[in-house]
Structure 1
Amino acid sequence: MTRRIDVFLQYYKPHVSGLTNMAATLAEFAAAQGYDVHVHCVAKAGASTVSEIDGVTVHAYRRSFSLGRGNFSLGFLAAAWRVRSLPGIAHFHLPLPESAFFAWTLRHRPLVVTYHCDAPMIGPLGTLAAKALDISHGALIRKSSATATSSMDYAENSRLSKLFRSVGSRGIPATSLDRAGGSPRYAVADRRQIGFLGRPTSEKGIDVLIEALDRLPEDVMLTLAGPLDGLSDDVGYDRARLQQLIDAGRVRSLGFLEETDIADFYASLDLFVLPSTNSFEAFGIVQVEAISAGTPVVASELPGVRTIPRNTGYGEIAPVGDAEGLAEAIEAALSSDYDRPRSRAVLESVYLPPVPENAYMAIFDSLSSEAKRS
């Protein structure tokens, strides 16, 4: 009998985010192990579609309406109703506002929850939305057969920490790629280069990084890899100030990098910086990938995020939202000689593939075997 997994999340490929990348990695890995994997998501635009991507059947449902960061689809909800009686596992990537609905609709199937992050409480409406999400997420987690977060540090500091303890949540690192072997073709002569990779949205702390750069020696250059255009108006930093720094040669923007360019980007840096400022950042896959390329990191003192430099010993931790503290951590990292072989050993035993993937496969295999026996 074919083993089936139905995966539910808001967006899937070609959308790019840490959550989406991890969901795709796990879905493709499970498909390669013989599972019949169906991903259910909301389409970014246009009509509902069904396609096969890298061995995974992807059902993208037409968006019905949007609210804040979320896009909602009646077809997405109907999908859960259609598959409710099918054999197999349902795997959810949270945040997912519809979680309470899924908890009820799919209550007779084995449920696996990957809880990526708390929604930050910003302003009255943001706080209300976050509390509503917590309630919905809690309903699904209580019904789940297995719940995982990217680290126990994050789980213990989450607003849902008591619930995680009560259900026996486990810490499984987010999936990442080994970026070793890149060529430093983005290096700049006579400059020490610090870098950031990702969408420079408000929670990423780019404003703090820009202010920290002003406190660093002139030979330190910031290189951004990721789109600067097409972002929301609320990016959280002074666009004009960033452009001044680009014009002055203190900052360079490479734009969106193709997958084949990322290892070279990391290899070109003296230091990778992740100055995130709120709970949307729970892990920081880019840290693992930078260290795999031999590049040390400076990361914010955020639950989950801080565990990677701590565990690998390959970088520094900076206070959240503190430009002076970030600048001090950057200078300390640039002048330090870290133990690369030790950090590599930690990566290979804890973070790099196939360690996280195999941890999820153990959950899927166990639940599939239990379902077959029953």
Structure 2
Amino acid sequence: MIKALHFGRFFSEAMGGTGRHVDELLSRLKDKIHVDNLVAAESWRGDHLCPHGYDVYRAPSLGIVASTAISPTMPLLARRLHARHHYDIVHLHLPDPMAHLAYLALPAGPRLVISWHSDIVRQKNALRIYRPLLDGLVARADAVLCATPRHQAASTQLSACRPGRLHVVPYGLDYRRFLAPEASQEARALRASQGAGPVIFALGRHVYYKGFEYLIRAMERIPGATLLLGGSGPLTPALKELAVSLGLAARVKFLGYVSDDQLPAYYHLADVFCLPSIASSEAFGLVQLEAMACGKPVVCCELGNGVTWVNRHGETGLVVPPQDPVALAEALQCLLDDPALRRSLGENGRRRALEEFSVQRMAEQTLGIYDSLVGRGGAG
């Protein structure tokens, strides 16, 4: 049986897109191969848990600097796990310099697989120092997995990848809870508490690249509509202040953390889903797939990457320029005013999500790459 160690960045109840992707993947792979997930804890208190049928090891952390967890014991824990299990595959989810460092502490032998989730975007000064090391890691990789062809085309940091090592493996989700009849029933109950006006739903960590500031400003131009904004983060207080200053406190509702059990109902409640991200740190947008599976049209911004490879303008939703509240408002109002267009785009989106972005397909493609690498024998 193949044994694989993933470095999945973080694992928590409110983990972001990369963590959720890793969890979806390992939850499906665990019945085929041995998989472990080594991540950074949120504090100097590591632990070991097995929430979804595979082992998650959280290494103690001193905190996060430049979006990177500082976990001095992660390399040691990685060595201990490898000594115990003798992994065939080490799978890094980049960008994550801490996982890179931990990988370098491992002995030679396991094949190296990298999932390239995004370029390093904001930490430009740190990148100048780190780039030679990153290039060396990419050149060493036996396989580099990108979720869309645009991840490679838009990247400025994958040039060191050797020919034949790059693979497109689209992200996938398990959509059963989004398609369950109970989700629509719960949505009807929520709708009764929201009033009769149209509802726009948005969800994500409240950080700069998510662009929620521009969505809130767009709400000034969409009278009668309500924005339900899920998630939280360092910008939550500033976003709440902005809504109040614009006189939108009654129409912009901050939901905070939305649990997995509640989430499908909010998608079904909404008329439109919006992903207003403004920077290429948002390279895919798993939340788009969730909305599409629920039959909702998506409005997103053109970032020149995988976001608009998922949400196709005029087919599954609408695409507008980033950092443009007026364009966001016009696109959202267009959909709110046209029920037939909403239905058409929503039906197209549901079909695209279910057919092209399934967790089963993602797991099968990943396992196929593992099989091909381990079957070759020898060190990478």
Same fold (TM over 0.5): yes
**What is the identity, as a one-letter code, of the residue corresponding to 2:309?**
T
1:311 & 1:168 partners in 2: Cα distance? 31
Where does residue 36 of structure 2 map in the other structure? 38
Where does residue 186 of structure 1 map in the other structure? 190
SS at match of 1:175: coil
Where does residue 222 of structure 1 map in the other structure? 227
Q: How does 1:63-82 map to 2 (within 5 A)?
A: 63-64=61-62, 66-82=64-80
Which deviates further from its counterpart, 287-296 or 196-205?
Answer: 196-205
**Could you say which structure has the greater relative contact order, defined with CA pairs below 8 angstroms and 6 or more residues apart?**
2
2:87 & 2:220 partners in 1: Cα distance? 58
Where does residue 24 of structure 2 map in the other structure? 25
SS at match of 2:49: strand
Q: Tell me the CA shift for residue 356 of structure 1.
A: 1.6
Q: Report the identity percentage.
A: 23
Where does residue 304 of structure 1 map in the other structure? 306
SS at match of 1:196: strand
Q: Deviations over 1:288-329 (max 9, x none)?
A: 110100111001101111112218911100101111111122
Aligned equivalent of 2:206, options 194, 200, 220: 200
Aligned length: 363
**Structure 1 residue 3 and structure 2 residue 5: aligned?**
no
1:222 & 1:16 partners in 2: Cα distance? 23
**Structure 1 residue 282 and structure 2 residue 283: aligned?**
yes
Where does residue 89 of structure 2 map in the other structure? 89
1:332 & 1:347 partners in 2: Cα distance? 23
Q: Tell me the CA shift for residue 24 of structure 1.
A: 1.3
**What is the identity, as a one-letter code, of the residue corresponding to 1:204?**
K
Q: Tell me the CA shift for residue 71 of structure 1.
A: 1.8
1:347 & 1:312 partners in 2: Cα distance? 16
TM-score normalised by L of structure 2: 0.86
Check whether the contact 1:94–1:137 (CA below 8 A) recurs between aligned residues.
no
Q: Deviations over 1:330-364 (max 9, x none)?
A: 12333224254443332222112312222112112
2:217 & 2:351 partners in 1: Cα distance? 35
2:204 & 2:294 partners in 1: Cα distance? 17
SS at match of 2:61: coil
Structure 1 segments (4+ residues) deviating >6 Å: none
Where does residue 319 of structure 1 map in the other structure? 321
Check whether the contact 1:95–1:137 (CA below 8 A) recurs between aligned residues.
no
Structure 2: state its 5+ residue gaps. none
TM-score normalised by L of structure 1: 0.88
CA RMSD of aligned residues (A): 2.7
Aligned equivalent of 1:55, options 48, 53, 56: 53
